[in-house]
Structure 1
Amino acid sequence: MITIDTNYGKIVFETYDADAPNTVKNFVTLAEKGFYNGLIFHRVIKGFMIQGGDPNGNGTGGPGYKFADELDPNTPSYKAGYKKGIVAMANAGPNTNGSQFFIMTEDYPLPNKYTIFGKVTSGQDVVDKIANLPTDGNDRPISSVTMKTVSVE
């Protein structure tokens, strides 16, 4: 279980270790190193998702490396698709995963090109609160949404 403690409340999600083992390992390792602590959710699109995990705070940054997608069509998460509460990796194309991730705020028919690695189990109301914040023309929340800490249980 991962807990993201934000200035708007806590979001807890389970990880899909069997479906996306390398992605889960990467996220857990970054969280345990404190990588996400103090970062923001820099992109919020109402009716779609919230995105964070960029040390630059603008969608251009990452941990300094990239890793491969885990998109096995036989896994339950791949078959289920991008439903409300799903946690998946953001990327800039095939095999460009790093640290940025998004949480779905609604069911949405995205193409299966973003590795799904978890699902919110508690705090979806916090996700919804963040998703409804006013944003600027670049989908950035007017009021910062900070991940105070990201911890692993």
Structure 2
Amino acid sequence: MIKPSALCATLILAASATTAMADNPKVAMDVSIDGEPAGTITLELFADIAPKTAENFRAICTGEKGDGLDYADSPFHRIIPGFMVQGGDITNGNGTGGKSIYGERFEDENFALDFTGPGQLAMANAGPNTNGSQFFITVEATPWLNGRHVVFGEVIDGMPVLRAIEDQGTRSGRPKSPVVMTDCRQL
């Protein structure tokens, strides 16, 4: 028999988890492959776990800060099958640039989440505390990245689109065809 106090605690925890999930922002990213619409990836941003990182991504998605801080029409410049798809270089488009809403770079917020499977959204970086606008989405579990990249979201719809992007990848990471985020918006 379940004790009333244990039942109450379970219900409160479940309600808290649902509320936190409901409060996390969601964004949609429209993608084209070789100039043709490929579909939309919907992401939940874990503002409850990594608020600064999630806000950086959300604000660049909407373009609300101006100053070129917008993912619209930026490419996925690095795609490695069985690993990840990377984009978000909003300054150079080739993986050598990017900037954040906080300035050029910002610190690693935390490493609270591990890389346990496909569809995890994380910041790309050039070493500790070098986050800008570049991000990647895993296509498999990547545990060797734990403690090196901040996981701050996940794909909640559009995994077939992610797989279509992955299909454009090569071992070198250079896409076979142009893959572009044609639009990005908050839902």
The two structures have a TM-score, normalised by structure 1, of 0.90
In the alignment, which of 134, 137, 146 is matched to residue 111 of structure 1?
146
What is the deviation of 1:145? 0.4
Residue of 28, 31, 34 corresponding to 1:6: 31
1:54-85 residue CA offsets vs partner (Å, 9 max, x unmatched): 0212111112610111224xx4xx2x434211
**3-state DSSP class of the match of 2:95?**
coil
Aligned to 1:132: 167
- Structure 1, gaps ≥5 residues long: none
The match for 2:104 is 65
SS of the equivalent of 2:122 reads strand
CA distance in 1, matches of 2:163, 2:62: 26
Query: Residue type of the partner of 1:102?
Result: F
RMSD (Å), alpha carbons:
1.5
Hey, what's the Cα distance between the residues in 1 that align with 2:53 and 2:154?
14
Match of 1:40, SS?
Answer: strand
Alpha-carbon distance in structure 1 between the residues aligned to 2:31 and 2:116: 23
Number of the residue aligned with 1:83: 117
Greater Rg over alpha carbons, structure: 2
Partner in structure 2 of residue 47 of structure 1: 82
Q: Which residue of 2 aligns with 1:143?
A: 177
CA drift of 1:141 comes to 0.8
Change in Cα spacing, 1:134 to 1:104, as seen in structure 2 (3 Å) is: closer
For 1:139 and 1:82, the matched residues in 2 are separated by 22
Extract unaligned runs of 5+ from structure 2. Answer: 1-25, 33-37, 64-68
Give me the identity figure in percent: 44
Q: 1:134 to 1:49 in 2, by over 3 A?
A: closer
Give the Å deviation of 1:18.
1.2
CA distance in 1, matches of 2:172, 2:135: 17
Return the structure number with greater helix share: 2
**Contact kept? 1:53, 1:100, Cα under 8 Å:** yes
**Which residue number corresponds to residue 93 of structure 1?**
127
| Structure with higher RCO (Cα < 8 A, 6+ apart) | 1
Is the 8 Å Cα contact of residues 122 and 135 (structure 2) preserved in structure 1?
yes
